[in-house]
Chains A and B, each alone.
Chain A
Amino acid sequence: MTEVATAPAVPVTGRAHASLARLVRAELRWIFRRPRTLVVLGLLAVIPVIVGIALTLVDSPGPPGGGPGGDGGGESLLATAGGNALVLPVGTLAMALGLLLPLSAAMSGADALAGETAHGTLRGWLLAPVGRGRLLLVKSIGVAVFTVTATVVMALTGVLTGLVINGTGSLFTLSGTTLSFPAAMLKVAIAAGWVALQLWAVGAVALAISAWTEHPMVVLASVLGGVIVFSVLGLLDALDWLHPFLLNHSWTDLGDVLRDPMPGGPLAEGALRAGCYIAIALSLAYARLSTKDG
């Protein structure tokens, strides 16, 4: 081991930073090499298939028992998803948005900072050095890419399952009109994009908590607890002044995508809300990260 050492063959550049693209590539490789990521994506991919098959077998309006979503929006949609290739992907997205998708976004945010701190690997990048602002940028890009992937995977298998079970002739909107295949795909894409934005907001909050702790579990528990508390608060009419501030207030409006014409109000409001959450959460994350001991 000693022969090679004295004259290091590696040429040295005069750069002060590694390029952002290189950091993002390394981050994405790390995210998508992680077994946990792949397992979660695999599970999310299977959900629409299971739902599609179950609805075909049961073939009765009204789902048996409460799903994990629990807040009604996804379930009432799912009631019409049997025999409809357009409603299935959007319906399963709406259902998973209740709990499963936020959980996976939280996992991604938890691993990004708290998980890396726990492994002692964040220090490696800080010492390279990667500036703390760049670090947060790379991390939030990573979380965003993961949430988009999760949504796209679910939407895709949903569409495929719906098409396999019901064929292209089953693309009805909730308003009763029939859509062409491209128009239907556009609606699914809008739904997936909107869900991804909501999840990015969840991921940003997770990143903010992640910057404050070195225990990924704390991040998961806080986000999960937050989603549940927000859902409960959203059900209390006495607190309706608070509802516009709850991130998941408009999550049940996802079904609007399936109407023809599409009412944009609640969805736009939801997107704006998600944007605010992202801005605030990432600011908090930066405030913490920039002063944190590495």
Chain B
Amino acid sequence: MSTSTSVTGVDVAEAASAPPVPLAARTRGLRKLYGRTVAVDHVDLDVPEGAVLGMLGPNGSGKTTTIRMLLGLVRPTAGAVSLLGHPVPEHAGHALPDVGALVEGPGFHPFLSGRENLLRMAAAEPRLATSDIASAVGGALERVGLSDAANRRYRGYSLGMKQRLGLAGALLVPRRMVVLDEPTNGLDPAGTREVRAIIAELHAAGVTVLVSSHLLAEVEATCTHVAVLQAGSVVAQGELAELLESGSPALLVSTPDGTAAMEALRGKRIPSRLTPEGVRVDLTATTPPEVIAALVHAGVEVHEARRDRTGLEDLFARLTQEPQGEVRS
């Protein structure tokens, strides 16, 4: 079950070997059928402790279903889930008090104010002492920037405010893990930045974060790890940096004299090509210092040299658009 998480040319071999980092959440062979529709199949997801894992996938790829199974809301058809070391859904009750979650958008009562809604939610939080409820709610509201609107009815909230309130619900109690399903949905750019800041704070505090998103920039900006879902299966997962560099390594050299640079490199038998951004040098057989030395020796001006990342967007496009024989519907 846990062997084939790497498909489509992206080699992420670590998934199968014994992980050195303890896992906050783990699924093995997860499968969920709704009637005859396969929502999720063969999902082997590893969420290392302390990581910010971005779950990336197009709409309908099974992100939310996987999250719901991870939290014990939905019983998997087959497979095993462990959350903070407890089997789910059997012992979800032991793990969930330390897990904050915003799943499938915020759910609140329209006739209550934001604060009253959170108070109702907080009443059910095992980890909160009754005397701390009011201050915890106040703190969470402040954290998501809703203090001013806290006493207005939820009915009148904008989409972004609703989303913020949902986020506040996940942050009511200090958590070991926070699960956010499309947290930036409906947020303006400022709101999106604030969510990123919150995720960064959680990460700095050692909290494991699982974020799902169909926005690539979002994941690239906030996550340390990434898992890509397509048609209900994980098609790639691992550390973000590794995945980003999993294409052929290259150095992008910006120089005013591209042709001279190409000639100098050809003399050293280093493959390169001219791109609009500069000279793209293939690093499979050489190292950046050698490339730069060769250029400087040949008298070519080097303004800047940087690693050319394939970019998660390219990767994502490659992973989700190529036809794949082994993924069933």
Contacts and interface: CB of A to CB of B under 8 A. Distances in A.
A33 B112 contact: yes
Nearest to A131: B93
Contacts of B109: 30, 34, 119, 121
A232 interface: no
A259 interface: no
B194 interface: yes
A125 B75 CA distance: 17
A281 to B, nearest CB: 24
Contacts of A65: none
B204 interface: yes
Interface string B48-62: 000000000000000
Interface string B25-53: 00000000000000000000000000000
Nearest to A1: B145
Interface residues of B, number: 53
Contact of B127 (A15, A23, A33, A127): A15
A4 B142 CA distance: 8
B120 A127 contact: no
A209 to B, nearest CB: 21
B306 interface: no
Interface in A221-258: none
B322 to A, nearest CB: 33
Contact of B101 (A2, A119, A127, A293): A127
Given A6-B204, A25-B123, A130-B124, A30 B96 contact: no
Nearest to B137: A10
A19 to B, nearest CB: 8
B201 A11 contact: no
Q: Which among A29, A30, A35, A291 has the greatest number of chain B C-beta atoms within 10 A?
A: A30
Contact of B124 (A4, A6, A124): A124
B74 A293 contact: yes
Contacts of A11: 129, 132
Interface string B264-286: 00000000000000000000000
Interface string B81-104: 000000000001110110101011
Interface string A193-225: 000000000000000000000000000000000
10 contacts: A8-B139, A10-B174, A13-B129, A16-B93, A18-B123, A22-B123, A120-B106, A126-B73, A128-B125, A293-B68
Instruction: Rank and list the top 9 A-B pairs by shortest CB-CB distance, nearest first.
Output: A120-B107, A26-B123, A128-B124, A294-B73, A129-B96, A1-B145, A10-B136, A8-B174, A15-B126
Interface of B: 68, 71-75, 92-94, 96-97, 99, 101, 103-112, 116, 119-121, 123-130, 132, 135-136, 139, 142-145, 169, 172-174, 194, 197-198, 201, 204-205
